Homo-oligomer: A and B are copies of this chain.
Amino acid sequence: MLALSQTTVSRALNGYPEVSDETRRRVTDAAKRHGYRPNPSARRLATGKAGMIGYVLPTGAAVDIDPHFVEFLSGLGDYARGHDLDLVLSPADANDEETTYRRIVANKQVDAVYVSSPCPADRRISLLNRLGIPFIVHGRSEGLDFEYAYTDIDNEAAFNDAARLLIQLGHNRVALINGDIRQTFALFRERGTRRALSDSGLALPPALIRCSPMTEENGYRAARSLLEGETPPTAIICSSLIMSLGVVRAIRDLGLAVPDDVSLIAHDDVFPWLRPENFSVPLTTTRSSIRLAGQRIAERLAARISGLESGFEGEVWPVDLVVRASIGSAA
């Protein structure tokens, strides 16, 4: 035995100043020796801190979790592992996430929350802001009348760069195959593309835009309908690598070739299992590792939990433009 009160042990272990170095050493030694770890349930009840970060997972028969999620998770895990943070996924009805958010906050099940794939004026963000729990948004929302903390990539600049490059190559009919337009990232991408074109006196008419969930099949359909249209594009910018699998298939099906008939640039979130350089014609991409974003967001959440970070800083990361063989000058 240590012949010390529980108070002192608790303080020693939690780094409070009113315990002598000597005593603290004895306590931590003994704790290590006996493998003592404070019971988290008890600690939770006493402090209200859970030592976990939360994510509300939209589910439902018609809801598919984005395959990007797993990469994000890898990043989050990379950081969390070293910092005694667990992640709790709370499944929610995709049509009523609010109830779940309220529950996890009211129950203090998690110390902080992250939000992904925001849409304009995202209700989840207003809710979390009102509930007063620390949170970070992966991505951005628009049209909210308050500030919040986020980490995002510069989608607008990325797609602006991509479009500019195509324009420089002489393309004047550039199409955009985008993700679900209800999400902010898709809006920004369209905006960036459009700006590049209009800066050069060109347009991005509705006939050259497609928006849909980012599956191979949707990529195929979008590309096919674009290329079979009245004034087919000579270049396509595509929001995802998975979609561009379908785009490439459509181009081939139509007897066309990349880049001779169609130039192609895609956005690459960096999957370990599908890489743009391995496409039959290596793909020019705008690249930003979603895994790194996961790491960073975990780091920021941890900082917020421990009070090291506060305020409403938004981060916007630049995006690489990696040129490969899939683009060429306009015919």
Tell whether, in the assembled complex, residue A78 and residue B59 are in contact, meaning their CB atoms are under 8 Å apart: yes
Tell whether, in the assembled complex, residue A77 and residue B64 are in contact, meaning their CB atoms are under 8 Å apart: no
Task: Tell me, yes or no, whether A167 is within 8 Å of chain B by CB.
Answer: no
Task: Tell me, yes or no, whether A331 is within 8 Å of chain B by CB.
Answer: no
Q: Which of A88-96, A118-126, A157-165, A305-313 contacts the other chain?
A: A88-96
Which listed residue (B73, B78, B216) contacts A274, Cβ 8 A? B216
Q: How many angstroms from the CA of A111 to the CA of B72 in the assembled complex?
A: 26
Q: Which of A36-44, A129-137, A140-148 contacts the other chain?
A: A36-44
Nearest-Cβ distance from residue A274 to partner chain B, whole angstroms: 5
Tell whether, in the assembled complex, residue A65 and residue B59 are in contact, meaning their CB atoms are under 8 Å apart: no
Number of copies of this chain that the complex holds: 2
Tell whether, in the assembled complex, residue A214 and residue B273 are in contact, meaning their CB atoms are under 8 Å apart: yes
Tell whether, in the assembled complex, residue A278 and residue B217 are in contact, meaning their CB atoms are under 8 Å apart: yes
Tell whether, in the assembled complex, residue A67 and residue B280 are in contact, meaning their CB atoms are under 8 Å apart: no
Q: How many angstroms from the CA of A216 to the CA of B103 in the assembled complex?
A: 41
Q: How many angstroms from the CA of A46 to the CA of B230 in the assembled complex?
A: 70
Tell whether, in the assembled complex, residue A73 and residue B89 are in contact, meaning their CB atoms are under 8 Å apart: yes
Task: Tell me, yes or no, whether A61 is within 8 Å of chain B by CB.
Answer: yes
Nearest residue, chain B, Cβ from A59: B77
A91-119 vs B, Cβ < 8 Å mask (1 yes, 0 no): 11100000000010011110000000000
Q: Which residues of B contact A66 (CB under 8 A)?
A: 70
Nearest residue, chain B, Cβ from A214: B273
Q: Which residues of B contact A252 (CB under 8 A)?
A: 280
Which listed residue (B63, B70, B89, B246) contacts A278, Cβ 8 A? B246
Q: How many angstroms from the CA of A81 to the CA of B56 in the assembled complex?
A: 11
Q: Which 8 A-B pairs have the closest CB atoms?
A: A77-B91, A59-B77, A81-B91, A215-B273, A64-B272, A41-B44, A70-B70, A87-B89
Tell whether, in the assembled complex, residue B70 and residue A65 are in contact, meaning their CB atoms are under 8 Å apart: yes
Task: Tell me, yes or no, whether A80 is within 8 Å of chain B by CB.
Answer: yes
Nearest residue, chain B, Cβ from A107: B40
Task: Tell me, yes or no, whether A209 is within 8 Å of chain B by CB.
Answer: no
A268-296 vs B, Cβ < 8 Å mask (1 yes, 0 no): 00011111001110000000000000000
Task: Tell me, yes or no, whether A71 is within 8 Å of chain B by CB.
Answer: yes
Question: If the complex has contacts A65-B74, A77-B59, A77-B89, are A220 and B278 also in contact, measured as CB distance less than 8 A?
Answer: yes
Nearest-Cβ distance from residue A297 to partner chain B, whole angstroms: 14
Task: Tell me, yes or no, whether A52 is within 8 Å of chain B by CB.
Answer: yes
Tell whether, in the assembled complex, residue A80 and residue B86 are in contact, meaning their CB atoms are under 8 Å apart: no
Task: Tell me, yes or no, whether A57 is within 8 Å of chain B by CB.
Answer: yes
Tell whether, in the assembled complex, residue A274 and residue B253 are in contact, meaning their CB atoms are under 8 Å apart: no
Q: Which residues of B contact A103 (CB under 8 A)?
A: 37
Given A41-B108, A60-B78, A64-B273, 18 more A-B residue pairs with CB atoms under 8 Å apart are A44-B44, A64-B74, A65-B70, A67-B67, A69-B70, A76-B91, A77-B91, A80-B91, A85-B91, A86-B91, A87-B90, A88-B88, A89-B89, A214-B273, A215-B273, A217-B275, A245-B245, A252-B280
